[in-house]
Amino acid sequence: MKTAVISDLHSNREALEAVFADIHRRGIRDLVCLGDVVGYGPDPEFCVDLVRGHARWCLMGNHDDALFRDASDFNPHARGAIEYTRRRLQPRWWSSAEKRSRWTWLRGLPLRVEEGRFLFVHGSPRDPVREYVLSTDGILNPDKLRSVFSSFENIAVGGHTHQPGVHDEDFRFHAPSGMAEFSFDLAPEGKYFINVGSTGQPRDGDARACYAILEETRVTWVRVEYDYRSTMDKILATGTLSEVLARRLAVGK
């Protein structure tokens, strides 16, 4: 059975539509989401509704969570986007049932899901919403990665860094690096930390939207072209969202 795993959509409608079309074209019916449905981008309602309607479950990301607390630990561009998103999504007493249910859904997202040999989180198993497990941790921070690896059994699957790839037990990081499709075999008894990458704001130097297809013994990352210029124009047209958030979509950084 194949499961499409999306993460870090960040209110990017064009990227999400392109990824959904690709998943549909492949005949994959099972879809899950690792969080950060909102933040950074211009289309939070659309992205929430599409994920709510189609994902079997969706986890809480740090940007989803920030809607319900103080976002002072975010950088100014990210914080501005949280305030923009909150203004659009937070219901008032006169708001429609649709708006209320969207908000209630976001507030109730789970922090982790376990299925068979896979443990799904947004960030890391020991701090599911916030901790970054970076692609460079095996080289620059092996003690941290050792500690992260000791906090789960089998295979952890996350997002959050927007950098697709997988850490193996020797802490080597295997990344799709510019390939339109890249598969990695998962040994039956192996231990791994998989990062599915970001659909709505890739940061590995590849501007194409990213998602992963998970099977029992294999993970495949897929890159999908989308019209990021439309998303950039929409970000600039808000007059509120930082132009930095638009520019980075063109370079995937």
Q: Please, which residue, 8 or 206, has the CB nearer to Zn ion?
A: 8
Which of these, 36, 34, 85, lies nearest to 63 by C-alpha position? Answer: 36
Structure tokens at 181: 């499709």
Q: Please, which residue, 8 or 65, has the CB nearer to Zn ion?
A: 8
Residues 165-204, one symbol each (x = binds Zn ion by CB under 5 A, - = not), give: ----------------------------------------
Tell me if residue 146 falls in helix, strand or coil.
helix
CA distance 148 to 227: 36
CB of 95 vs Zn ion, minimal distance in Å: 27
**Phi-psi category of residue 125: left, alpha or beta, with phi > 0 → left and psi -120 to 50 → alpha:** alpha
Q: Please, which residue, 10 or 223, has the CB nearer to Zn ion?
A: 10
Report the site for Zn ion in 13-42 (rule: CB under 5 A).
36
Burial of 165 (0-12, 13-18, 19+ CB in 10 A): buried
* Sign of the Cα pseudo-torsion (85, 87, 93, 95, in order): negative
CB of 3 vs Zn ion, minimal distance in Å: 20
CB of 63 vs Zn ion, minimal distance in Å: 6
Considering the rule CB under 5 A, would residue 65 count as an interface residue with Zn ion? no
CB of 93 vs Zn ion, minimal distance in Å: 31
The 8-class DSSP code of residue 167 comes to E
CB of 9 vs Zn ion, minimal distance in Å: 9
Q: Which helix (H) or strand (E) holds 118?
A: strand 118-121
Query: Under rule CB under 5 A, how many of the chain's residues touch Zn ion?
Result: 2
**Choice from 8, 64, 137, 206 touching Zn ion (CB under 5 A):** 8
Q: Please, which residue, 36 or 206, has the CB nearer to Zn ion?
A: 36
Structure tokens at 249: 């979509």
State the residues that interact with Zn ion by CB under 5 A: 8, 36
